[in-house]
A and B are shown apart, each in its own frame.
Chain A
Amino acid sequence: MQAEMSGAADSRFRLPRGFAAGRCWLSGIALILLLTAPASAFTAYVSNEKGNTISVIDTDKLIVVKTIKVGQRPRGIELTKDGKFILVAVGDDDTIQMIDAKTHEVVATLPSGPDPELFSQDPTGKILYVANENDNTVTIIDMERRARLGEVQVGVEPEGMGLSPDGKILVNTSETTNMAHFIDTETRQIVANVLVDARPRFAEFKRDGSEVWVSSEIGGTVSVIDPVKHEVTKKIAFEVPGLRKEAIQAVGISITRDGKTAFVALGPANRVAVVDGATHEVKKYLLVGQRVWHMAFTPDEKYLLTTNGLSNDVSVIDVTSLKVVKTVQVGELPWGVSISQ
């Protein structure tokens, strides 16, 4: 008989001894810092897919300071380039809501097309590109006029949206077609399609534009693509001892500004992989909350916040020491995160 029962304990809270004491010590330091130095207060906004809310986190105190009610099924979330608005895709309401970053009121909606999930802004903040999961399209929106400019037909279930730093190339991933579509933003035509592993969910360019990384959730890999040659130059695989292969599902990707370190969220593996940006070697796995989805750096790249879908919390990773320093409870099924500049 192959199958057997075992008490597979949830290992998420297996923290090192003295962690709590360490945290007290850390917060003590933070308190001193708060008293002595002016705080660089950033604000993180976390979309809670089931809760229909946004949790607002003070990134100095690392506590939730406010909860904003939004539409149905909020997922993709970003601040506008001028920092005045929070944009959140509320998929089941078929729109993107604009929330005033000061008053936290929903002030407008954008014609995003049906079931928006992830979106990307061009460097000027004037144009928004939206993946419409149910419609095999990418919708292009003029942010000033809040009007639809056009759309591009892509593969089945478009999701990931990565814009090159110069804004010229948009990479969209389609989950059932298993491709990264390279779209020329000027002509709005697809210029190349690159096959990647199953269910690609996220695309992220390095800041110097030399590489675009695409995560495959079901394939459990990250494809590093040369954006000029449109070729997969490296496939990053992940292996966590004691974890079955199927549980390792790559989703969110965050790369530091200098391109030296990348973080890959591994979904139900409850880990974030730390990857060397140059050699593409996996250096470390950090234990975070359950079903980790997406991540965002504080603007000073001191912290990386991760959304943990099943445990309703956000893990805070110290980017220098590569340690998880805090867990913040948020709303139900946290999904996306964006942090003010």
Chain B
Amino acid sequence: MIRLLLAGTILSLWAAADAAEINIGYLHHTESKTYLSLIEIPAGNVGVAGAQLALDDNNTTGKFLNQRFSLEDIRLSPGQDAAAASAALAERGALLVIADLTADALLQIADTSAPRHSLLFNVSAIDDRLREEACRANVIHVAPTRSMLADALAQYLVWKQWRRWLLIVGSHAEDQLYGDALRRAAKRFGARIVQEKVFEDAGGARRTDSGVVQIQRQLPVFTQGAPTYDVLVAADESEVFASYLPYRTWDPRPVAGSAGLVATSWDGSHEQWGAAQLQDRFMKKFSRRMTARDMQAWTAVRMIGESVARTRSTDPTTLLNFMRGPDFALAAFKGQPLTLRDWNLQLRQPILLADGRMVVSVSPQEGFLHQVSELDTLGTDRPESKCRLR
């Protein structure tokens, strides 16, 4: 009996030693943002659903390499400390963490988890400062930055010869940041902002029973009297006004930015470069369309899968070194390999321009050249970067 038990222990020890176990943590907050359009309200599992699909993909590959991936989903209630949750994850051996968090929460766990050698994957914060003055050596940024999104949009508008922009910026801090990115993009790619307006958030509910009647009267007046322009560009991450603009401007002009033509890392209608297969897999598993945040989480978990498969290691430092090195190339249905900018750990990626029903174009646009990678025409480039990784 004892011999049997011993044999059993040895066998299970052998099995455990043989199969590599990779535990991935997923940290996110309960959503509290409000949206103008009902169809924009995210599903309860937004983000983490993409991670779960990538986990399936990793495990299909893993069964040929004797690697097993698991995901621990931790949803924080408002005000709950992200650092404590990440410490708990590390104690359970999950040193690879998908951070679906705000910029401040991300920085907090980046600093508290640095001594534990955890590696974080930012899948939702688009703030440029996280890749610039506040960059961290243990944070990989899968989400694009505001400046990458603004540049992607600007390249297309300039290609389209819509060079005269009427810029309307919301009154919240993140709207101002997107406004800054759009101004920078206009200057870089040769567009001209003919007038700039601020749309003050006067408060009030997003949902009302007779809202549309008033909006139809207010928006034309708000956009009346502008100098001649080709396109209205709106910066409204706070969801206060941009979605009201299309079809309601005083002059008949297209809308882009936070409504109309929107720059995004993914869209439920994207089907090129084999994307239809991923969309089908996602739909089959979750009965809904895949959003940008789902895709960013999918990409992060696939980056882990790919580097574990190539290095046969589960050590975060080994994986990071591989990912920022020359041999890393992720296939993510964007028509070209995704790689990491080694100076700030930002993922290089084409950006889609979608109108809510279809993908209109994909940036970088043809003709915007670069000596290293055309993907580096999007966002802050190496010579301009303020990031100094230690």
State the CA gap A249–B329 with chains docked (Å).
13
State the CA gap A157–B151 with chains docked (Å).
33
Collect the chain A residues with CB atoms within 8 Å of residue B31's CB: none
Contact yes or no, A219 B329, CB < 8 A: yes
Complex partner residue of A5 from B274, B310, B367, CB under 8 angstroms: B367
Collect the chain A residues with CB atoms within 8 Å of residue B46's CB: none
Majority-rule SS of B interface residues:
helix
B374 within 8 A of A: yes
Number of A residues near B (Cβ < 8 Å) is 38
B162 within 8 A of A: no
Contact yes or no, A134 B367, CB < 8 A: no
Contact yes or no, B281 A246, CB < 8 A: no
A313 within 8 A of B: no
Residue of A nearest to B383 (CB): A2
Contact yes or no, B188 A3, CB < 8 A: yes
Contact yes or no, A244 B337, CB < 8 A: no
Contact yes or no, B57 A195, CB < 8 A: no
Residue of B nearest to A92 (CB): B276
B376 within 8 A of A: yes
B65 within 8 A of A: yes
Complex partner residue of A2 from B310, B329, B330, B370, CB under 8 angstroms: B370
Known A2-B381, A190-B64, A195-B310: A157·B337 in contact at CB below 8 Å:
no
State the CA gap A219–B158 with chains docked (Å).
31
Contact yes or no, A197 B329, CB < 8 A: yes
Known A7-B367, A177-B60, A193-B64: A198·B331 in contact at CB below 8 Å:
yes
Collect the chain A residues with CB atoms within 8 Å of residue B317's CB: none
0/1 interface trace, chain A 1-45, chain B, CB 8 Å (1 if under)? 111111110000000000000000000000000000000000000
0/1 interface trace, chain B 80-115, chain A, CB 8 Å (1 if under)? 000000000000000000000000000000000000
Known A3-B188, A5-B367, A244-B374: A157·B61 in contact at CB below 8 Å:
no
Contact yes or no, B329 A176, CB < 8 A: no
Residue of B nearest to A248 (CB): B336
Number of B residues near A (Cβ < 8 Å) is 37
Collect the chain A residues with CB atoms within 8 Å of residue B371's CB: 2
Residue of B nearest to A199 (CB): B331
Collect the chain A residues with CB atoms within 8 Å of residue B151's CB: 3
Contact yes or no, A156 B60, CB < 8 A: yes
Complex partner residue of B330 from A1, A3, A6, A198, CB under 8 angstroms: A198
B190 within 8 A of A: yes
A178 within 8 A of B: yes
B373 within 8 A of A: yes
Residue of B nearest to A267 (CB): B335
Contact yes or no, A134 B277, CB < 8 A: yes
State the CA gap A246–B381 with chains docked (Å).
18
0/1 interface trace, chain A 102-130, chain B, CB 8 Å (1 if under)? 00000000000001000000000000000
State the CA gap A176–B62 with chains docked (Å).
12
Contact yes or no, B64 A155, CB < 8 A: yes
B366 within 8 A of A: yes
A179 within 8 A of B: yes
B267 within 8 A of A: no
Collect the chain B residues with CB atoms within 8 Å of residue A7's CB: 367
Contact yes or no, B373 A157, CB < 8 A: no
Contact yes or no, A156 B331, CB < 8 A: no
Chain B CB within 10 A, most for which of A7, A136, A156? A156
7 residue pairs of the A-B complex, CB under 8 angstroms, read A5-B368, A177-B57, A177-B64, A178-B331, A181-B64, A218-B329, A244-B373
Q: A residues bordering B, Cβ < 8 Å?
A: 1-8, 115, 133-134, 136, 155-157, 174-179, 181, 190, 193, 195, 197-199, 217-220, 244-247, 249, 268
Q: A178-B309, A246-B336 given. 18 additional CB < 8 A pairs?
A: A2-B371, A3-B188, A3-B369, A5-B158, A5-B367, A8-B369, A134-B277, A136-B60, A155-B64, A156-B60, A156-B61, A176-B57, A177-B57, A177-B60, A198-B337, A218-B330, A244-B373, A246-B375
